[in-house]
């Protein structure tokens, strides 16, 4: 029993996680490029014009993956933050810190492409409807998490304070996701559901899923690169970092 626990926590030490992350990063970049090229090609050349919205709907291929990522990264960030809070593992806090800027980027991208899409289709850049407002709150949660972490000098205390904020903010994620179901909103309901077939032409769906995979791979690659930088910064006093940098 004792043996297996030690094995599990092996990669929870910054020293062994640092080279592992370094070896994985190029593969994730390669996957980002592959999924991105295939996804963009389908998005622009294969997917048909939409009957209602014409060519303008194609912004969906960036908007939906960005929105999904903004919500999912938050869940992953909160998971790491909670794990760090409960088990006092060092890499957990660093992972949460590394994910936040990418999550904020995705939320900003989602809001920005949404505005660009809303103006021609709805007739408004912005509406205070439940979906849009809760996504804006998500963006602010990311910024708040980053600001709070940066404001506290001691990294362990910064991690703890950030973790509590991240965990409290989790409440917002189901609100974003179900907002179009629970309330009257201008934003339309979800096209992709777990319970029924997607109400979307097959090739459009493929384009969207490939773009979503591209965004996944990008987020992982960037988060791992960032976590390596954070590890070096926080462990700069240790022997192994001095050797690793040389």
Which of residues 41, 120, 125, 140 is near other proteins by CB under 8 A? 120
Kindly indicate which of the ranges 5-13, 19-27, 66-74, 186-194 contains the residues binding other proteins, using the contact rule CB under 8 A: 186-194
Nearest to other proteins of 90, 226 (CB atom): 90
Contact flag: residue 144 with other proteins (CB under 8 A): no
**Is residue 185 within the footprint of other proteins (CB under 8 A)?**
yes
Query: Per the structure block, which two tokens stand in for 65?
Result: 């993956």
What tokens does 73 get?
Answer: 């990264």
Does 170 contact other proteins by CB under 8 A? yes
Binding segment toward other proteins, per CB under 8 A, in 53-61, 90-98, 147-155, 230-238:
53-61
When asked if residue 165 is in the footprint of other proteins (CB under 8 A), the reply is no
Q: By rule CB under 8 A, what count of residues binds other proteins?
A: 40
Helix (H) or strand (E) holding 137: helix 130-151
Residue 54 φ/ψ, nearest 5 degrees: 65, -140
Residue 86, interface with other proteins (CB under 8 A)? Answer: yes
Please count the CA atoms within 13 angstroms of the CA of 192 that sit on its side-chain side: 12
Asked if residue 12 binds other proteins (CB under 8 A), the reply is no
Q: Does 199 bind other proteins (CB under 8 A)?
A: yes
46 in contact with other proteins (CB under 8 A): no
Q: From residue 88, give the alpha-carbon distance in Å to each of 3, 11, 131, 178.
A: 19, 14, 35, 33
Residue 223 φ then ψ, to 5°: -65, -40
Q: Tell me how far apart the alpha carbons of residues 61 and 39 are, in angstroms, rounded to a whole number.
A: 8
Would you state the structure tokens that stand for residue 28, as one six-digit string? 């994730």
Q: Cα separation of 111 and 184, whole Å?
A: 19
Smaller CB separation from other proteins, 13 or 53: 53
Q: Is position 175 an interface residue for other proteins (rule: CB under 8 A)? A: yes
**Cβ 221 to other proteins, closest distance in Å?**
30
Pick between residue 78 and residue 99 the one whose CB is nearest to other proteins.
78
**Alpha-carbon gap, residue 243 to 235, rounded angstroms:** 12
Around Cβ 4, how many Cβ atoms within 10 Å?
Answer: 8
Residues that bind other proteins (CB under 8 A): 48-53, 57, 60, 82, 85-88, 120-124, 127-130, 167-168, 170-171, 175, 182-186, 188-191, 199-201, 204
């Amino acid at each position: 029993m004792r043996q297996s626990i030690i094995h599990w926590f092996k990669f929870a030490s910054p020293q062994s996680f640092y080279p592992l992350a370094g070896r994985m990063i190029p593969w994730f970049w390669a996957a980002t490029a592959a999924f991105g090229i295939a996804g963009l090609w389908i998005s622009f050349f294969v997917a048909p014009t939409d009957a209602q919205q014409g060519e303008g709907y194609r912004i969906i291929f960036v908007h939906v993956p960005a929105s999904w990522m903004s919500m999912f990264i938050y869940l992953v960030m909160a998971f790491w933050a909670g794990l760090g809070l409960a088990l006092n593992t060092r890499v957990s806090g660093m992972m949460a810190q590394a994910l936040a800027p990418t999550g904020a980027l995705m939320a900003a991208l989602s809001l920005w492409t949404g505005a660009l899409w809303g103006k021609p289709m709805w007739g408004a850049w912005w509406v205070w409807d439940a979906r849009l407002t809760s996504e804006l709150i998500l963006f602010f949660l990311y910024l708040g998490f980053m600001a709070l972490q940066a404001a506290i000098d001691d990294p362990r205390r910064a991690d703890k304070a950030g973790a509590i904020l991240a965990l409290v903010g989790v409440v917002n994620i189901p609100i974003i996701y179900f907002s179009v179901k629970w309330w009257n909103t201008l934003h339309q309901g979800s096209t992709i559901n777990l319970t029924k077939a997607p109400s979307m032409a097959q090739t459009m769906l493929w384009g969207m899923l490939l773009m979503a995979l591209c965004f996944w791979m990008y987020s992982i690659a960037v988060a791992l690169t960032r976590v390596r930088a954070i590890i070096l910064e926080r462990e700069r006093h240790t022997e192994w970092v001095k050797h690793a940098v040389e």
